[in-house]
């Protein structure tokens, strides 16, 4: 059902990887940048919604997506961690999920900001009594995590928009260094 949902939006994925934690697994699917994906490489979890999300109704499930340009396939392992994080703690718009290290080799970004997409990207899915919602995962530097903790996620988005921060660029400079 989820794979068909994705393929209806973006076609057949170009890559797929599976990540296991104990007896549960989450796959990360990748689509190359083209007009269907909004000209960014799109990554999406498949399996985070296989188990109930902590703090939500048993019928409300979450999956995650990320758009990057240029592509950064090494993001898949830490994107997959959002599945187990969802099962363990209540997550939603504006939450931060830290990983034990960096999001991928060669960056200092070390956490995801979870966000309701600013523009509709993956429509919610209702299937067999389940409601699946997608949150956007946005990579952040430690200084941005701290700034958001003080000022809030909405203000972070406002400042990023004002400063034209290319949050989809995995090689973007640290926003706080530009201020």
Instruction: State the pTM of this model.
Output: 0.95
Could you tell me the residue ranges of all domains in the chain?
A: 2-178
Asked if residue 18 has pLDDT above 80, the reply is yes
Q: How many CB atoms lie within 10 A of CB 105?
A: 8
Q: Of 34, 31, 36, which Cα lies nearest the Cα of 14? A: 31
> What are 40-89's pLDDT values in tens digits?
999 999 999 999 999 999 999 999 999 999 999 999 999 999 999 999 99
CA–CA distance, 78 with 118 (Å, rounded to integer): 22
Asked if residue 176 has pLDDT above 80, the reply is no
Using alpha carbons only, how large is the chain's radius of gyration in Å? 16
> What are 99-108's pLDDT values in tens digits?
989 999 999 9
> What are 92-131's pLDDT values in tens digits?
999 999 998 999 999 999 999 999 998 889 999 998 899 9
């Amino acid at each position: 059902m989820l794979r068909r949902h994705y393929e209806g939006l973006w076609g057949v994925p170009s890559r797929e990887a599976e990540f296991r934690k104990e007896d549960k697994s989450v796959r990360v699917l990748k689509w190359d940048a083209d007009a269907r994906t909004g000209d960014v490489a799109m990554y999406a979890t498949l399996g985070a919604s296989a188990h109930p999300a902590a703090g939500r109704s048993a019928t409300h499930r979450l999956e995650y997506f990320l758009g990057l340009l240029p592509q950064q396939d090494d993001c898949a392992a830490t994107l997959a961690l959002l599945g187990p994080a969802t099962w363990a703690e209540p997550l939603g718009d504006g939450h931060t999920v830290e990983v034990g290290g960096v999001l991928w080799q060669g960056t200092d970004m070390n956490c995801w900001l979870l966000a309701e997409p600013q523009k509709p990207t993956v429509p919610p899915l209702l299937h067999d009594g389940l409601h699946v919602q997608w949150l956007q995962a946005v990579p952040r530097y430690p200084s941005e995590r701290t700034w958001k903790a003080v000022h809030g996620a909405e203000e972070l988005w406002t400042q990023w928009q004002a400063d034209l921060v290319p949050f989809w660029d995995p090689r973007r400079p640290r926003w706080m260094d530009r201020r």
